[in-house]
Amino acid sequence: MGSKDSLIVTVLAILVFKDYLCESGLAATVTYDHRALVIDGQRRVLLSGSIHYPRSTPEVWPELIRKSKEGGLDVIETYIFWNYHEPVRGEYYFEGRFDLVRFVKVVQEAGLYVHLRIGPYACAEWNYGGFPTWLHFIPGVQFRTSNAIFKEEMKRFLAKIVTIMKEEKLFATQGGPIILAQVENEYGNVEWAYGVGGELYVKWAAETAVSLNTTVPWVMCQQEDAPDPIINTCNGFYCDEFTPNSPSKPKMWTENYSGWFLAFGNPIPFRPVEDLAFSVARFFETGGTFQNYYMYFGGTNFGRTAGGPLIASSYDYDAPIDEYGFIRQPKWGHLRDLHKAIKQCEGYLVNSDPTYERLGVNLEAHIYYKNTQECAAFLANIDKSLDANVTFNGNSYNLPAWSVSILPDCKNVIFNTAKVVSQRSLGDLSYAHPTTMRESLLGPSAWGWYKEKVGIWSDNSFTGSSLLEQINTTKDTSDYLWYTTSCNKQRTCQPVPVFLLAVAFHVLFYLETVAGFGYGNHEDASFTLSKKVTLNEGNNTLDMLSMIIGLQNYGPWFDIAGAGIFSVILSDLMNNTEDVSSREWTYQIGLEGEYLGLDTISLANSSLWTLGSDIPINQSLIWYKTTFIAPEGTGPLALNLSSMGKGQAWVNGQGIGRYWSAYLAPSAGCTENCDYRGSYDASKCLKNCGQPAQTLYHIPRTWVHSGDNLLVLHEELGGDPSKISVSTRIGQEVCAHVSESDPPPVDAWTPNLEVMSLNPEVRLSCEQGWKITSINFASFGTPEGQCGKFSQGICHGENVLSVVQQACIGQEGCSLPVSAANFGDPCPGVLKSLAIEALCSD
């Protein structure tokens, strides 16, 4: 056996042994030094991805983990969600979507590691940042500072999670997959607001974590003052310039944002994969050895789990795996190839610190030496617009602007972050094409409805002598709080044709009928509503419904940020005003429909519902219910609520989230083709301007059954339920366009092999269970256009379609070399490319 074959066998043996350790439950020691995490005495380069277990369902966890592993990940990172694990103090819940032990074991069965971010503060755009609301009501408590009450509760929960993991033998030293744990979360971003109490709290949190004896390292992210032995880590869009606070700690990146979260009223943010890959490559180029994507799969904020203000139900995050569990291309594929290239360099990356070499203006190399003869290199062009040719080790290389090339042998470029050759997907669940989607309209028949009462609806209301803050009043048992008062036109309010209202979040204002409504946005939830009204002679009742859209989850002292109606002022045309905020108000927590349980299956056939085909539409505060047959298939469903206004939805009693189709994003600020070059931030690349942030709502397949399924909606503003539809994906259109000048597949290269001897390839693959059923376009020569809009150029091979069909039809995937030897040469001397569009289906 030759030396090349020996090396391949050695690499395969190491990879297989790593999986064996995870799956078989063999104990492993985990430590660290200045270069990397050290597992059983070996420094490791680790690629990680965040998947939050409650944002999907247990039935799909194995599939998500499988796709993560196939994408090149070594580690799955997740937060722990205290408010759902301990909804009542001392009463714990670890079932269903919150079965943490089951999730960790699914990861272990796949042969991957786990980074457990216990916190217990999570942020994560999760309601109240993951804190249980009962914690807020313990007398004398102050969150995230040196407060004895808070520290006692936090330590108790940390110990609870650690104990569970130990009892299940899930730490690496017990044969489990957990190699890292995290205490607190991004506290360094807000520590300034807590003064000395914050500094003391950081030291206490570190000491407490270490005292729990997990036998694996602890980290604190965004925490420059993390005490030894806690590793301080970086969060952000770029972390190549990050340096740990001690020369004995490795350079680690716990949150590399694959996109950004979605908020009602905002456009949809996305991050080009060229920039994401650039950030990852730069991190490993400059000495990093652990990197995590936040998120690798984002999922869904089911029910009322979304944080605030105004976080949407979709937590898709433009992640490599989309909200519904489908692979997002080309992001997933381009990053998979990047991971393969980085792993080719692992032996060099963990052996030495990088050596810097300047190649020109905004041009640089970082070299990792194994010995004087062997090295790996990263060549970077950090210019925002100018491509460049550079000379390195006597060879010439082209570097596109804002890109990194990876040379695992300091000679051959096997990957460049700006050159995307992986396949692309056409459309998503909003792309309703009959060949890829199965959709059914619910229609106007067989609906029931219940009109919610305005204002005080029961005898459990109560009065107060001033306006009450909403969260302290409702204790987050409901999104809703009624504020009711009265005024007499002949006395207090005369002449009062103008009503001014200063409020927060979202409010409906009634004076017999809807008189107005107002709302804020994610960036500033507070707002002022000014409304002219005509009062009746005598007594007038003013009813105001304040609606929270997720409790705040981030910021200094966020736990005491208020919500609700803060000021009510009456004014006349002469600008004479009366502040009625301190008069007597009557309060009602929640809605009557909530109290009755209209969202539950048990009331589906109740006489409370009015039945008929003449559905009342465009009415505020109304409940709707109907049944539907789920479209055939095994995949997830999407509920299209674009015809509705604002509210909540349930399927078979399961909350699928809040919706707000009536809130449109600003019409300006989006770009069809966002330039990946230059620093990215959450507002750089936006789409869907002038449209609702979200109209499709995820229904897990396991939440429906054959036969009738119950859909219940609570509509707050007004909509038309007869136009609601439900759909599922039954296929996908995929495409690729690869040039003769593009790099060959990363996994085709082996040491001592010249890249120039290899051909680029078009590689197509379908989601598991689907096969390529047709080729919609194929051209070798000079095809023009983009995926979905390809056309033949002036140079086109004659038998390309038949060659592609023979190689691909009936296959789950296929690979075709981009070479005249494969297709003939229709135009000698001309740079040619291969473009293919294919349909995958079941």
Indicate the SS3 state at residue 555: coil
Radius of gyration of the chain (CA): 29
Give the closest residue to 393 by CA, choosing from 383, 379, 414, 404.
379
Residue 37, classed as helix, strand or coil, is: strand
Q: Is residue 284 over pLDDT 90?
A: yes
**Rounded to an integer, what distance in angstroms lies between the CA atom of residue 707 and that of residue 604?**
15
Contact 561, 445 (CB under 8 A): no
Q: Around Cβ 673, how many Cβ atoms within 10 Å?
A: 8
User: 481-530, pLDDT tens digit by residue?
Assistant: 999 998 776 544 444 444 545 455 678 887 767 778 889 999 999 888 88
Q: Note the CATH number of domain 731-841.
A: 2.60.120.740
Handedness of CA 756, 758, 764, 767 (dihedral sign): negative
Q: Is the pLDDT of residue 409 over 60?
A: yes
Separation CA 407–CA 387 (nearest Å): 18
Total Cβ atoms within 10 A of residue 561:
16
CATH code of the region 437-452+595-729: 2.60.120.260
∠ at Cα 13 (7, 19), nearest 5°? 145
* Chain centre distance of CA 374: 40
Q: Would you place residue 13 in the very low, low, confident or very high pLDDT band (cuts 50, 70, 90)?
A: very low
pLDDT tens, residue by residue, 165-221: 999 999 999 999 999 999 999 999 999 999 999 999 999 999 999 999 999 999 999
**Could you count the other beta carbons within 10 Å of the beta carbon of residue 507?**
22
More confident residue, 783 or 753: 783
119, 188 Cβ separation under 8 angstroms: no
For residue 586, the tally of other CB atoms under 10 A from its CB is 17
Give which of 343, 304, 433 is closest to 840, Cα–Cα: 433
Model confidence at 842: pLDDT above 80: yes
Residue percentage of the chain with pLDDT more than 70: 94
Give the whole-angstrom CA distance, residue 293 versus residue 283: 13
pLDDT one-digit tens code per residue, 225-236 = 999 999 999 999
Round to whole Å and give the CA distance between 824 and 799. 9
pLDDT-wise least confident of 601-610, 619-628, 743-752: 743-752
Q: Of 1.10.340.30, 2.60.120.260, 2.60.120.1140, 2.30.110.10, which CATH number belongs to 462-590?
A: 2.60.120.260
Whole-number pLDDT of residue 286:
98
pLDDT of 705 reads 96
Q: What are phi and psi of 80, to 5 degrees?
A: -110, 140
Q: Of 125, 184, 186, 346, which residue is the catalytic one?
A: 186
CA dihedral 674, 678, 682, 686 (to 10 degrees): -10
pLDDT bracket for residue 429 (50, 70, 90): low
**DSSP class of 523:** S
Biggest CA-to-CA distance, the chain: 103
Q: pLDDT value at position 579?
A: 85
**% of the chain residues with pLDDT over 90:** 84
pLDDT at site 9: 31
Mean pLDDT of all residues in the chain?
A: 93
Per-residue pLDDT, averaged over 71-80, amounts to 98
The half-sphere exposure of 526 on its side-chain side, counting CA atoms within 13 A, is 7
Residue given tokens 């807020």 in the structure block:
136
Task: Quote the CA–CA distance of 793 and 517 in Å, as a whole number.
Answer: 56
Structure confidence at residue 528 (pLDDT)? 85
Task: Determine the 3-state secondary structure of 583 from DSSP.
Answer: coil
Q: Judge whether 255 counts as a catalytic residue.
A: yes
d(CA 828, CA 830): 6
3-state secondary structure 517-552: EEECCCCCCEEEEEEECCCCCCEEEEEEEEECCCCE
Residue 182 backbone phi and psi in degrees, to 5:
-125, 140
- Phi and psi at residue 113, in whole multiples of 5°? -90, 170
Architecture (CATH level 2) of domain 46-347: Alpha-Beta Barrel (3.20)
Does residue 450 contact residue 737 with C-beta atoms inside 8 Å? no
One-letter-per-residue 3-state SS of 686-738? EECCCCECCCEEEECHHHCCCCEEEEEEEECCCCCHHHCEEEEECEEEEEEEE
Q: Where are the beta strands (DSSP E) in 171-213?
A: 178-183
Which class for 297: exposed (0-12), middle (13-18), buried (19 or more C-beta within 10 A)? Answer: buried
Of residues 538 and 661, more confidently modeled = 661
Asked whether the beta carbons of 712 and 650 are under 8 A apart, the reply is yes
Cross-strand bridge partners of residue 292: 48
Ramachandran assignment for 523, one of left (phi > 0), alpha (psi -120 to 50 degrees), beta (any other): alpha
CA distance 610 to 673: 49
Structure tokens, 486: 């009265």
Mean pLDDT of 462-474: 95
> Would you call 319 helix, strand, or coil by DSSP?
coil
Contact 661, 643 (CB under 8 A): yes
What's the whole-number mean pLDDT along residues 26-49?
97
Name the token pair of 771.
């096969």
Domain boundaries, the chain: 46-347, 437-452+595-729, 462-590, 731-841
| 75-79 and 46-51 beta bridge pairing | parallel
The kind and range of the H/E element at 10 are helix 3-24
- Give the whole-angstrom CA distance, residue 658 versus residue 306: 9
Marked catalytic residue, from 153, 255, 733, 837: 255
pLDDT, tens digit (0-9, with 9 covering 90-100), for 669-705: 998 789 999 999 999 999 999 999 999 999 999 999 9
Q: For the whole model, what pTM was predicted?
A: 0.95
How many other CB atoms are there within 10 angstroms of residue 432's CB atom?
A: 15
- Is 457 a residue whose pLDDT tops 60? yes
Stated length of the chain: 842
Reported as a single tens digit per residue, the pLDDT across 562-591 is 999 998 888 766 677 788 888 899 999 999
Is there a shared CATH topology between the 46-347 domain and the 731-841 domain? no
Predicted pLDDT at 497: 42
**186 flagged as catalytic:** yes
Q: How many angstroms separate the CA atoms of 209 and 181, rounded?
A: 9
When pLDDT is averaged across residues 328-339 and rounded to a whole number, the result is 98
Q: Look at residue 419 and tell me whether its pLDDT is greater than 50.
A: yes
